[in-house]
Amino acid sequence: MLLDSCLCSIYITCLGAQSRVVPAEGYCSMYGICANRTDGKVLNCVNATKAVKPDTLFSTRIQSLCPTITGDVCCTVDQFDTLHQQVQQAVPFLVGCPACLRNFLNLFCEMSCSPNQSLFINVTSAKQVKNITTVDGIDYYITSNYGEELYNSCKEVKFGTLNTRAMDFLGGGAKTYKEWLAFLGRQANPNEPGSPYLITYRPDLSGSSGVKPLNTTVYSCGDPSLGCSCGDCPSSSVCMGSLLPQSMTETSCSVKMGSLKAGCLDFSLAVVYIVFLCAILLWGLLYRTRGRTGFPSQTKPPKNADDKLHSNNNGNVPENSVQVPKAASSSIVQTYMSTFFRRHGVFVTRHPLLVLCASLLVPILLCIGLIRFKVETRPEKLWVSPGSQTAYEKQYFDSHLAPFYRIEQLVLATSASGQLEAPTIVNDNNFKLLFQIQKKIDDLRANYSGSTVSLADICLKPLSTDCATQSVLQYFQLDPKKHDDLGIDHAKFCFEHYSSEETCLSTFQSPIDPSTILGGFPGSNFTEASAFVITYPVNNKVETTGQENGKAMAWERAYINLVKEEILPMVLAQNLTLSFSSESSIKDELNRESTADAITIVISYIVMFAYISFTLGDRPSRLWALFVSSKVLLGLSGVVLVMLSVLGSMAFFSAVGVKSTLIIMEVIPFLVLAVGVDNMCILVHAVKRQPDGIVLEERISNALVEVGPSITLASLAEVLAFSVSAINPMPATRAFSMFAAMAVLLDFLLQVTAFVALIVYDFRRAEDGRIDCVPCARLKSSTVAGDNGGHQRLHFVARYMKDIHGPILGYRPVKFIVIAVFVGLAFASIAMSTRLQPGLEQKIVLPRDSYLQGYFDDLEKYMKVGPPLYFVVKNFNYSSASENTNQICSINQCNSNSLLNEIARQSLSPETSYIAKPAASWLDDFLIWMSPEAFGCCRKFVNGNYCPPDDQPPCCQLDQDSGSCSSNGACNNCTTCFLHSDLHNGRPSTTQFKEKLPWFLDALPSSDCSKGGKGAYSTSLDLSGYENGNIQASAFRTYHTPLNKQTDYVNSLRAARDFSSQMSKDLQMEIFPYSVFHIFFEQYLSVWKTAIMNICVCLGAVFVVCLVVTSSLWASAIILIVLAMIVLDLMGVMAVLGIQLNAISIVNLVMSIGIAVEFCVHITHAFMIGIGDRENRVRQALSTMGASVFSGITLTKLVGVIVLRFAKSEVFVVYYFQMYLALVLIGFLHGLIFLPVVLSLCGPPQKTMKPIEQSQTPPSNEQT
């Protein structure tokens, strides 16, 4: 697109003089055209003649363009025609703001034709051309006020096609009037656009006499008679009441105490905690006072209870057996559960083979569903809810307009190499390297279904000819010969004049903004850039079968291989760095991640299996007895049951059509194993605690009665926690939760059936003296004598819990310290959790060794532009009866609060709106293109057909060698599509709009008319059924500011949503924002609401389950409080470690409730079935279940979790190692320190019930 600022440096036909012209009214400084430069540009004559009176026709023509010029003139017809020809190139840029256009035209009309030309124009330089003296330089005197007002009227005028200011094209990006006028007056080199002679604008009169600077009327852009839109003139008084950008920075409440400043929440929590500490101290003082006055502080346990608790004299009772008298909660549910588990234990012991076969049959049959097993890897299908608003918006955008193009990108950068700053990359050697890279990519061929695919076959081609490659090489039109001829200085020149120099245009005729192809530059100093950013846009298609983008994906794979194998070594040899990506890179790397941590997961399983075998077995006094007492086969069998439950879960959901994910395949087996091992340890330890003197059948049933209810409660809580997470609409987390819930449920059922049967077989093997893993072999009875049955003295952990841990927690000062510390941590965690940031860093979900890690680092470091942002208007009614046109557009006569005007206003506050530029508007450009003032744009032949601008065929003859197009007179009879009288208030009728819109969209942009819509707006409208006066969808493109952090993406989406919602409400139109990243970040707009809802629902559900199972509101409330504190502490740790809040962490938080239940319910259940006062029952609970919770739950999870520290994927390290490790430690501390203290202080009172039905057993050996 020839967006040519030769318009800006309009070389009007003003002339020079051989000698100094005496300034006088009615006299010229130059008059007539005397010669031409070698490049064809006309040169004015130096001629101090008197102004000439034009004929009536010529006068009318002059006043049609220059209404301020009346009477005599200082220009000939040829000069005026040249003026007219040149200004027509500037008109499309400025016609949207009539005041600016009028002022701009007046500047050159006065210079070219003013009858008083000699008063403000002085010819300073002349040259001989064919013995004729021609103008070579002039001084143009103006007042500084005139220059300032001229610049102010035009400085904010937009050129919407490229989301930039018209000043970037007509003024080289000038920031002051002096810069603008210097740009307009520079003398063009041969064959370059610009003035044929130097025009020096002088705002001062030093050294001049008789000069009268030009100071004609300058119209303000806010002048009602020539009103510009608010987008082009935001300072206009009519624009001040428009919608202002809303600040995204929420005002936070704070309290200031001297030099310290604290948030209101932090301060409030600190005050409450201090009050709480004071209450604890007061409580302690009252307790001591009561103790001194003789009041009992606690009820002593009955003597028989104390005797039974500490009695170990019975020879039939092993040391690790703790006798608990017949006391338990009077819960009906507990009674039925105890009865069920006793009968179940008897049945399994008597029919182990039947139970084993029947229980294994269920998951084996379920595994048939694996034939429908599929894995979902598409990110948009994993992390986007199907019913989400952004998913609908993306589908609407893709189907009505066009899918956003695929992006292939290279980032070539210099390295600091010990320096403070990286050196510039802008030098000849690096350009030559870039040309070599470009050639390799152009020559790349990929194979797809037997045919070859090149970049030219799949790339985006706006004008259907050349690829829209975004590269610094475009300043040389991707031609190394031009680079050799012009050198590096040409590139540096184009950095500053990319939009105004034809020689800087790309191969697809569009300006290339240096901020999009360079990186690492300070401010706007592009020559100091330290990175080249090369982007290859590739056509994208809506996928229905998955094969629509097959060619592009095949080329992308070949492209990545080329970069890795050939281009990367070339770059490294030049001491540069290279990062790269393709559209399919993330998907491919996620697929690779599925195998990257396979070894880590296998090692985790092996370590956990080894630990299971160790902790389930005994430590006999004789070495040979170890072969009998070990539990390797039992542990291996338990792992197999876990895998069966996982496979059964996957098979079940595969059968019903739910696809699996990579996270499911990697995490759930580990998770279920960690949960399952806990129950295995608890079951085996419970059987071991039973006295030796009773039969195995009684030991199994007693063990199930003792731990069955708490295992059931813990498993139900875990299943419930995952089931609650399944309400999360995020497909990946929803599938994970469903698979996990089913796997945990199957694992629980297999543990209380198949694993119990395996325990029966294992204990019979041990009693029979058979070797573990080789049960057919048997040791002599003398070898295992004394170690039979695996009942040994207490393990040191059990002894510690009984003799050290419990008594220490019994001291009152220790209790007060524990309460104070844990409550303080909870309060601190509440304060820290408010600092959790939403998001999920892309680098975290990728393998650590992925090439995309460096790419994302470079994007954050070097990119200076953000992603495109589209505002989509649905059902735009363009009929004359509708106000929609003026409610959207941003040129003159548009509403001050129109959509595009407000977008422009939002761009003035990018730090809050995240909008960097005004929007590219097909509607504005179309209305300007149709305007009679833009006389080079919408034109027609005599027969009514479309007539292109004069610099396009068939109006000119194209020279294939030079690429220039010389006029051939074929379009001399073309006229503008409309006269002013044909339009109603400057707007087309419904019929005119309908007829000319296709012309506009097919019109090629060029120097004579830069507003053609082909390429720029080809995919901005859905013309389906537009003949009825309604356009279903139209998009207006702008850009976000650079988004470097996850919070930037979230806040930018929120800002765009809020803005669109407000505009939809104000304009009564349906408007929505769309950007490629929106679909992945919508979840974070409500992530806190989702997290709180999930956590609260899960806590409530667990509370209900506990209440039903225990029938104790008191105990259930304590469990609920402890679980809430564990979750709060985990959130506090997340904030400290910088773990973000997202779907994965929400699932982990909810899952933590289910896992934390294990640290609480076993201790609480043991406490409730104990006898005596609270202190004694706490000691009983720690003695019976403390060791199992520590070795069977805490250490088991620690062993598996620590291995994940060495995973290659950061997501494992952050969201599974760090969070799980924190959960295990926090759960352990709360379950074995805080909970026992709370129970000893305010636990539920003891309730007794009638003895549960038992098999015949010696009274001294009974155990509930």
DSSP calls for 870-921? EEEEEEEE-STT-SHHHHH--STTS-TT-HHHHHHHHTT-HHHH-B-SPPB-
Confidence of residue 936 (pLDDT cuts 50, 70, 90): confident
Q: Domain check: are 575 and 611 in the same one?
A: no
* β pairing state of 198-202 and 132-141: parallel
pLDDT at site 237:
74
Question: What is the pLDDT confidence band of residue 782, given thresholds at 50, 70 and 90?
Answer: low
Cα 1067 to chain centroid, rounded: 30
Is the per-residue pLDDT at 309 higher than 50?
A: no
Residue-wise pLDDT tens digits, 1014-1033:
988 989 999 988 999 999 99
Does 1075 fall in a domain?
no
For the segment 851-879, the average pLDDT, to the nearest whole number, is 93
CA distance 1061 to 1073: 9
- Closest C-alpha among 926, 946, 920 to residue 878: 926
* pLDDT value, residue 769: 81
Which pLDDT score is estimated for 227? Answer: 73
259 pLDDT band, cuts 50/70/90, is low
The domain of 466 spans 404-583
Name the β-bridge partners of 414.
576
- The tally of domains found in the chain comes to 4
In this structure, the answer to whether residues 288 and 353 fall within a common structural domain is: no
> Does the pLDDT at position 1255 exceed 80?
no
Are 291 and 325 members of one domain? no
First to last CA, the chain: 88
Rounded mean pLDDT, 429-441: 96
Angle (CA) 915 919 921, round 5°: 165
Is residue 723 over pLDDT 50?
Answer: yes
In this prediction, residues 769-795 reach a mean pLDDT of 62
Q: Does residue 478 form part of some domain?
A: yes
pLDDT at 18: 39
446-448 and 770-771 beta bridge pairing:
unpaired
* Domain end among 583, 603, 636: 583
pLDDT at residue 1116, rounded to an integer = 92
- In angstroms, the Cα distances linking 289 to 277, 279, 420, 711 are 18, 15, 68, 42
User: Tell me, what's the pLDDT at 745?
Assistant: 94
**Residue 129 β-bridge partners:** 132
Q: Which residue has better confidence, 253 or 882? A: 882
Say how far apart CA 319 and CA 313 lie, in whole Å. 9
Q: What is the pLDDT of residue 838?
A: 92
Q: What would the pLDDT profile of 1150-1208 be if each residue is shown by its tens digit?
A: 888 888 888 898 899 889 888 888 899 999 889 888 888 888 788 888 877 887 788 77
What's residue 166's pLDDT? 87
pLDDT at 700 over 60: yes
Q: Is residue 354 part of a domain?
A: yes
On the question of pLDDT at 290 being above 80, the answer is: no
pLDDT over 50 (residue 1): no
| CA quadruple 848, 851, 857, 860: dihedral, nearest 10 | -130
Q: Is the pLDDT at 188 greater than 90, yes or no?
A: no
Same domain for 668 and 711, yes or no, is yes
Look at residue 943 and tell me if it is in a domain.
Answer: no
At 539-592, the pLDDT tens digits run 999 887 778 899 999 999 999 999 999 999 999 999 999 999 999 998 888 777
Q: What is the pLDDT of residue 110?
A: 94
pLDDT (tens digit, 9 = 90+) per residue, 26-62?
A: 999 999 999 988 877 899 999 999 999 999 999 989 9
Query: Over the stretch 1217-1232, which tens digit does the pLDDT of each residue have?
Result: 899 899 999 999 999 9
Evaluate if residue 1256 carries a pLDDT over 50. Answer: no
Mean of pLDDT values over 585-609: 76
Over the stretch 976-1016, which tens digit does the pLDDT of each residue have? Answer: 999 888 988 888 999 999 999 999 999 988 888 888 899 88
More confident residue, 790 or 1191: 1191
Indicate whether 9 pLDDT > 60.
no
Tokens of 512: 């290339």
Average pLDDT, integer, range 63-77: 92
SS3 readout for 1065-1081: HHHCCEEEEECCCHHHH
**Weakest-pLDDT range from 196-200, 753-757, 1003-1007:** 1003-1007
pLDDT band for position 789 (50/70/90)? very low
Q: Is residue 386 part of a domain?
A: no
Residue 934 has pLDDT above 90, yes or no: no
What is the pLDDT, as a whole number, of residue 206? 63
pLDDT at 4: 38
- Tell me, yes or no, whether 58 and 205 share the same domain: yes
Say yes or no: 570 and 630 in one domain.
no
In a domain, 98, yes or no: yes
Per-residue confidence (pLDDT) for residue 1262, from 0 to 100: 35
Give me the chain's average pLDDT, please: 85
Q: What is the pLDDT of residues 828-840, one digit of tens each?
A: 999 999 999 999 8
Mean pLDDT, residues 182-206: 83
For the ranges 456-465, 592-601, 954-963, 1066-1075, the one whose mean pLDDT is highest = 1066-1075
Q: Which amino acid is at 1065?
A: K
Residue 1047 lies in a domain: no
Residue 725: pLDDT over 50? yes
**Which of the listed residues 552, 583, 614 is the one where a domain comes to its end?**
583
Are 35 and 109 contained in the same domain? yes
Q: Are residues 542 and 618 in the same domain?
A: no
Whether 938 and 930 have beta carbons less than 8 Å apart is answered as: yes
The two beta strands, 576-581 and 770-771, are unpaired
Instruction: Specify whether 289 is located in the same domain as 421.
Output: no
* Domain shared by 159 and 98, yes or no: yes
Instruction: Report the pLDDT value the prediction gives residue 596, as an integer from 0 to 100.
Output: 61
pLDDT at 14: 37
Q: Give the gyration radius of the chain's Cα atoms.
A: 41
Asked whether the predicted pLDDT for residue 273 surpasses 80, the reply is yes
Binned at pLDDT 50, 70 and 90, residue 788 comes out as: very low
Tokens of 408: 């292939």
Residue 1126 has pLDDT above 60, yes or no: yes
Residue 504 has pLDDT above 50, yes or no: yes
Q: Percent of the chain beyond pLDDT 90?
A: 46
Contact yes or no for 361/753 (Cβ under 8 A): no
Residues 517 and 489 in one domain: yes
604 falls within a domain: yes
- Lowest-pLDDT range of 225-229, 303-307, 761-765, 818-822: 303-307
DSSP state of 939: E
Closest alpha carbon to 394 in 1057, 1080, 1159: 1080
Last residue of a domain, one of 542, 558, 583: 583
C-alpha distances out from residue 977 to 81, 95, 119, 996, 999, Å: 21, 16, 40, 9, 11
Give tens-digit pLDDT for 108-138.
999 999 999 999 999 999 998 888 899 999 9
- Same domain membership, residue 707 and residue 608: yes
